[in-house]
Amino acid sequence: MSAADREATITPYPDGPLLVRGAVELRTTEGEPIQPRRRTVALCRCGLSTIKPFCDGTHKAAGFRTDA
Ligand code: FES
């Protein structure tokens, strides 16, 4: 079983994105599929990424902090 076939997991990265691993389907608010581009997907949770829903690393420069 490949990593892409396994049950999806979502792991908060400290002071950063949500890391999504496994088989998931990403969709826009209109329901259109979003290609994940990678096996592990980093979803922005700071709200500052220019490539939402993906993280582009802006959280670091912005000093985004989380509790987890
Ligand atoms: S969490 Fe990385 S840019 Fe928002």
User: Using one digit for the tens of pLDDT, what is the confidence trace for 19-33?
Assistant: 999 989 999 999 999
pLDDT in tens, 39-63: 899 999 999 999 999 999 999 999 9
d(CA 24, CA 33): 11
Which residues contact ligand 1 via a Cβ below 6 A? 16-17, 44-46, 48-49, 55-59
Choice from 20, 44, 51 to test ligand 1 binding pocket (greatest atom count within 8 A of CB): 44
- Determine the Cα–Cα distance for residues 22 and 5; give it in Å rounded to an integer: 6
Q: How far is the CA of 36 from the centre of ligand 1 (A)?
A: 16
| Cα–Cα distance, 5 to 61 (Å, whole number) | 34
Higher pLDDT, 20 or 1: 20
The domains of the chain, with CATH numbers, are 3-62 (3.40.5)
Mean pLDDT over the full length of the chain: 91
